[in-house]
Amino acid sequence: MIRVARLVAVKDLRVEWRSRVILWQVLPFGVMTLLLMGFAEGPETTLSPSVAAGLFYVVVLFVSMLVIARSATIESSPGTANSISMLGLDPAGVFLGKATAVFLEVLLSALILLAGTTLLLHLPLALALHSLPSVVLVVMGLSLAGTLYGALTSGLTGSPTLLPLLVLPTMAPLLIAGERTISAIATHQTWSSWLGLLIVFDVGYTVAGILLYGVVEDS
Amino acid sequence: MSTVVRLDDAVVTAGRFPVLTGLTLTARAGECLVLEGPNGAGKTSALRLIGGLESLARGSGEVCGIDLRRGDRREIRRHCGWLGHEGSFYDDLTVRENLTFAARAGGFDIAGLATSVEAVGLSQRLDVRAALLSAGQRRRLGIAWLVMRRPSIWLLDEPIAALDTSARIFLQGILEDALAKGVCVILSAHDNTMELRAPVSRLTIVGGRIEMGESS
């Protein structure tokens, strides 16, 4: 399983690096969205950390949707899908590999967007740095759930629009927990319970993906 | 020659629409089975069923001794290789990267890469992205993928579409070599002009079932 996961992750990252779609299209989209939010806020207003964190996570969610859709289409041509299926790869390994590649791509984007949030939406830098563990856990959850739902909608009519429709409700707990963690850190409240929720979500989706990815692929 | 594929009154549906409506056929090791028929006749669906990519709605069948209904379809797929006319690999990876991925994924020795690339005449294009290859070279890359994996059943979906005469002759040579080594080749074609020097059976599929057949 680990061998297949590593193989698939390296392949997906290499495909992405060659096409530069995330670098030249997805990331600029995220930065532009933040910029527009900054313009909407205006130079004289300072958002509360809670609102800035919420906007940051909404942009990360948009970016992750695009990355997940992109990941699901790597094998979308019928010929490629058929010949890859013939390799008989362990589906659990394929799930972990694709989720790892998505995680690394979205995490890199999220870190750049977090820096953008401190600049454009005035999220305090120290707060942003303290939030890093929760950002990692949220991105991990988005990647795991998104990879599973990406496989589910792949090949269906209207899959690019169906994916966000299906996956957004499942991602709501992640975004709430992520935003609450930053708010709790900002107001010096306990935030470990939110991190705990994120860990439970990530473990749950890892197990679900390992068990269900093969079934979803075959269906 | 041993029977590697057997379908008996096989029915496959896409949603509620039947794409195979009672297909019966056998294919043996070292034999080429050509599925002919018009567009939409069910040729690709038959290949997908044999490759474990579709499930049987009715009827029975076996591929390499594995029951199509009750057996592990993932295990069936490991015995098969696919070559489509639209390209069967990653366009953003180079020839070398595509073949390395296929070899590692299948647990094959990476040393076989050089031999398979040499066999299909792509040695000079190893570091070229698949997207930049010509139609004939793309088909050769798909064949290299098959040659390296050495599956016991080759499923070729319209393999000669868009190929010029020299590319067709080249493909013919590769197939004759594979057949001589005991590979079972099943290919779909709507205007098959290949004349293989090997045992060939031809079946015409119309409306998801065999209309007529002949062996040579």
Can you say whether residue B30 is alpha, beta or left, with left for phi > 0 and alpha for psi between -120 and 50 degrees?
left
Q: Token digits for A96?
A: 């972990």
- Tell me, what's the pLDDT at B191? 67
Asked if A78's CB is within 8 angstroms of B101's CB, the reply is: no
B78 touching A (Cβ < 8 Å)? yes
* A157 has a chain B CB within 8 A of its CB: no
What are the pLDDT digits (tens) for A100-117? Answer: 999 999 999 999 999 988
Identity of the residue numbered A55? L
Cβ burial, residue A146 (10 Å; 0-12/13-18/19+): buried
Using only the alpha carbons of chain A, give its radius of gyration.
Answer: 18
Q: What is the pLDDT of residue A10?
A: 93
Inform me whether the C-beta atom of residue B75 falls under 8 Å from chain A C-beta atoms. yes
CB contact at 8 A, B63 and B5: yes
pLDDT tens for B40-54 read 888 888 899 998 888
Q: Do B87 and A79 touch (CB under 8 A)?
A: yes
Quick one: average pLDDT of B63-87? 85
Q: Given an 8 Å threshold on Cβ–Cβ distance, is A11 in contact with B101?
A: yes
Residues of A113-138 as b/e, b for ≥16 C-beta within 10 angstroms?
Answer: bbebbbebbbbeeebbeebeebbbbb
| Amino acid letter, residue A156 | L
Q: How confident is the model at residue B193 (pLDDT cuts 50, 70, 90)?
A: low
The pTM of the full predicted model, rounded to 2 decimals, is 0.83
**Does A89 contact B at CB distance below 8 Å?**
yes
Contacts of B201 (CB under 8 A, 6+ apart): B27, B31, B32, B33, B34, B213, B214, B215, B216
Reading the block at residue A78, the tokens are 């019928």
- The residue of A4, A74, A86 whose CB has the most chain B CBs within 10 angstroms, and thus the best one to mutate to test that interface, is A86
